[in-house]
C-alpha cells in the first residue's frame, strides 16, 4: 500500500511540475525558440562543455585507474577514499577551493609572482568549468574503471604474460573488452552531470558567453522573470536529459565478470611505465587534494575565524541545512523502501516486468533535473503567498527526489535478497509488517539503510539547485549563503562557510565508508 502511495505522489508531484511547464503560455513560443540565436549559442555551449568534460574525464580516469591498479604503495587506500569524498562534496565548496588554488590571487598566481612572473591564471570561462568538472569526474571515472580492471580474471592476465603481450596489445586484447562494457554508461553519466551542472557554471561561467541551458533557465526566472521563456528552456532540457537517460539505460551495462578475491595478479610493468604511473598518481592526487587543503587552511588564516562564527546569518543557514538534510534523507529512504517492498512483492508473484517498471519510476527522476522540477513547482505555486514552511516543504521534496535513485540502487539488492532467503519462512510463520522487519530483515538492512541515509544526507546538505530558486534572507542554507558570499567577494566569510560544509561532509563521509565496510562484511 505504501508503494502505491509513493508512486501516486511521484506522478502527482513530478507530473504537476511538468504540466505547469507545458501549459505556460506567452509571447515566447516554440517558433521564437527555434529562431533564438542566444538559445542556439547556449545549447551549443552546453553540449560542447559537457562533451569535453566527459571525454577528458574518461581519458584521464582510465589512465589513473590503470596507474592505481598496477602500483601498490602506502596511502593508496587513503587516496581512493579521498576520491570517493568528491562524490558527496558540495560543488560550491570545491569551487571555493579551486579559486584559492587557480584563481587570480590563488596559489599558482602567488607562486608565479614569487618567481618574478606577472602571469596569472584565469579560472573563469570554459577553462574554469572544465577544471571544476574534472575535479569531480576524474575520481568518479577512475573508480568505475578500476572496478572493471579488477574484474578481469587472473587466468587471462597470466596467459597474456605467457604470450608476452605488452603495452598497447595487452590493453587492446585484454583490458578494453572489459572497459568497453562500462565506457558508454560512464560517458553518458558524466555527460549528463556536466550538462545539468548548475552551481559550477553559475559561479565560474563568467558571463553570457559561457552560459549553459540550466543557468539560462535560472536567469530567465530570476533576472528577466520571463516565465514562458524559462518554461520552454526547461522543457528542452528535460527532453535532452530524458533522451540521455534512455540511452544510458539501454546501452549502459555493468561488467559481466566480478573478481571474488582481494589479491589481484598483474604482470610487472616496465621501469618507464612505473615512473609515468607514479607521476600521474601524484599529479591527480594533488589536483584533488590541494583545493580541499586550501579550504581548510583558508578559514584558519582568515583573521576572523572566531569572530565570523558569531554571525547570525551563518547560524540561520546552518540550522536550516541541518533541518533540511536529515529530513529529506529520511523521506528519500522511506519512499525508496516503500517502492522496493511493492516491487519485490510483485516479483515474488512473478510479475517481473511490472516490478522492474516500478523501480524505473523511482530511477527515472534522474531524467528530470532538479532545477526543471523546481521551476515547474514555482510556476504552479506562484499565486501562493509562500511562507518559510512552504519553501521548506518544496526544497525538502526536491532534495529527497534527487537522492532517491541512489538510495534505490543501494537498497535494491539487499531487499531482494531478503525476499529470496526469508519469504517462505515468514509466510510459514505468518510474520508480517513491522514484526518481520525488526526480527528478520533489519539485521541485513541495517548497514545498507544507514549508508543510504548518510549518502542522501550528504547530497541534500550540498545541494544548491532548489534553494537557489526558493531561498531568501529568511530561508537559506549553507550552500546558498556560500554562493552569496562568493558573489559579493566576501572571501573571509566564505572561507568559514566552506570550512563548515567541508567538515560536515567529511564526517558524513566517514559514516558512509564505515557502513560500506560493514555491508561488505
Res 260 pLDDT > 60: no
Confidence tier at 60 by pLDDT (50, 70, 90): very high
For the segment 422-431, what is each residue's pLDDT rounded down to a tens digit?
Answer: 778 787 888 7
CATH number of the structural domain spanning residue 363 = 1.10.3720.10
What's the rounded Cα separation, in Å, for the pair 314 and 29?
Answer: 42
The whole-number pLDDT of residue 261 equals: 44
What's the rounded Cα separation, in Å, for the pair 343 and 354?
Answer: 8
Mean pLDDT of 377-394: 78
Res 283 pLDDT > 90: yes
Q: Flag whether 180 is in a domain.
A: no
Q: What is the number of structural domains in the chain?
A: 1
Mean pLDDT of 195-212: 84
256: DSSP letter:
S
What's the rounded Cα separation, in Å, for the pair 86 and 101?
Answer: 17
DSSP letter for each residue of 287-299: HHHHHHHHHHHHH
Q: Flag whether 505 is in a domain.
A: yes
Q: Flag whether 441 is in a domain.
A: yes
Mean pLDDT of 452-468: 87
Q: Flag whether 473 is in a domain.
A: yes
Q: Flag whether 365 is in a domain.
A: yes
Residue 322 belongs to domain spanning = 1-35+311-520
What's the rounded Cα separation, in Å, for the pair 26 and 35?
Answer: 16
How far is CA 246 from its chain centroid?
18
Q: Flag whether 133 is in a domain.
A: no
Residue 111, C-alpha cell as written in the block: 607562486
Considering only residues 189 and 253, tell me which one the structure prediction assigns the higher pLDDT.
189
Confidence tier at 323 by pLDDT (50, 70, 90): very high
Angle at 247 between CA 80 and CA 250, to 5 degrees: 90
pTM: 0.84
Find where cell 591564471 sits: 121
Confidence tier at 24 by pLDDT (50, 70, 90): low
Mean pLDDT of the chain: 82
Amino acid at each position: 500500500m505504501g508503494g502505491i502511495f509513493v508512486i501516486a505522489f511521484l506522478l502527482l508531484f513530478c507530473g504537476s511540475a511538468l504540466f505547469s511547464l507545458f501549459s505556460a503560455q506567452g509571447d515566447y513560443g516554440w517558433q521564437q525558440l527555434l529562431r533564438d540565436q542566444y538559445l542556439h549559442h547556449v545549447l551549443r555551449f552546453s553540449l560542447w562543455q559537457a562533451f569535453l568534460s566527459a571525454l577528458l574525464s574518461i581519458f584521464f580516469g582510465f589512465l589513473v585507474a590503470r596507474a592505481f591498479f598496477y602500483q601498490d604503495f602506502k596511502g593508496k587506500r587513503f587516496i581512493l577514499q579521498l576520491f570517493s569524498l568528491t562524490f558527496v562534496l558540495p560543488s560550491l565548496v570545491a569551487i571555493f577551493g579551486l579559486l584559492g588554488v587557480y584563481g587570480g590571487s590563488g596559489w599558482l598566481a602567488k607562486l608565479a609572482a614569487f618567481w618574478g612572473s606577472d602571469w596569472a591564471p584565469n579560472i573563469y570561462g570554459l577553462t574554469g568549468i572544465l577544471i571544476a568538472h574534472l575535479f569531480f569526474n576524474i575520481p568518479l571515472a577512475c573508480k568505475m574503471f578500476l572496478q572493471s580492471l579488477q574484474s578481469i580474471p587472473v587466468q587471462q592476465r597470466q596467459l597474456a604474460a605467457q604470450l608476452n603481450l605488452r603495452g598497447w596489445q595487452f590493453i587492446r586484447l585484454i583490458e578494453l573488452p572489459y572497459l568497453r562494457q562500462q565506457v558508454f554508461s560512464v560517458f553518458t553519466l558524466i555527460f549528463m552531470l556536466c550538462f545539468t551542472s548548475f552551481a559550477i557554471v553559475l559561479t565560474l561561467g563568467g558571463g553570457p558567453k559561457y552560459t549553459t541551458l540550466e543557468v539560462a533557465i535560472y536567469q530567465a526566472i530570476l533576472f528577466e522573470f520571463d516565465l514562458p521563456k524559462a518554461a520552454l528552456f526547461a522543457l528542452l532540457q528535460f527532453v535532452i536529459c530524458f533522451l540521455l537517460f534512455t540511452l544510458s539505460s539501454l546501452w549502459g551495462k555493468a561488467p559481466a565478470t566480478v573478481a571474488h578475491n582481494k589479491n589481484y595478479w598483474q604482470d610487472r610493468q616496465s621501469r618507464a611505465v612505473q615512473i609515468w604511473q607514479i607521476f600521474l598518481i601524484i599529479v591527480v592526487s594533488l589536483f584533488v587534494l590541494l583545493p580541499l587543503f586550501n579550504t581548510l587552511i583558508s578559514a584558519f588564516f582568515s583573521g576572523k575565524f572566531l569572530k565570523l562564527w558569531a554571525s547570525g546569518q551563518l547560524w540561520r543557514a546552518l540550522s536550516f541545512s541541518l533541518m533540511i538534510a536529515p529530513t529529506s534523507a529520511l523521506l528519500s529512504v522511506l519512499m525508496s523502501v516503500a517502492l522496493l517492498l511493492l516491487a519485490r512483492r510483485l516479483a515474488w508473484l512473478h510479475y517481473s516486468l511490472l516490478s522492474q517498471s516500478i523501480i524505473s519510476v523511482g530511477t527515472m527522476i534522474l531524467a528530470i533535473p532538479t532545477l526543471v522540477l523546481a521551476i515547474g513547482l514555482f510556476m504552479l505555486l506562484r499565486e501562493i503567498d509562500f511562507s518559510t514552511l512552504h519553501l521548506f516543504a518544496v526544497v525538502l521534496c526536491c532534495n529527497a527526489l534527487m537522492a532517491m535513485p541512489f538510495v534505490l540502487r543501494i537498497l535494491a539488492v539487499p531487499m531482494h535478497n531478503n525476499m529470496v532467503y526469508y519469504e517462505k519462512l515468514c509466510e510459514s510463520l505468518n510474520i508480517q509488517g513491522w514484526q518481520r522487519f525488526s526480527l528478520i530483515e533489519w539485521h541485513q538492512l541495517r548497514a545498507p539503510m544507514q549508508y543510504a541515509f548518510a549518502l542522501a544526507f550528504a547530497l541534500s546538505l550540498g545541494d544548491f539547485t532548489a534553494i537557489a530558486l526558493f531561498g531568501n534572507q529568511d530561508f537559506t542554507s549553507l550552500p546558498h549563503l556560500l554562493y552569496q558570499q562568493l558573489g559579493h567577494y566576501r572571501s573571509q566569510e566564505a572561507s568559514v562557510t566552506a570550512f563548515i560544509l567541508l567538515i560536515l561532509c567529511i564526517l558524513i563521509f566517514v559514516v558512509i565508508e564505515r557502513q560500506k565496510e560493514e555491508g561488505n562484511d
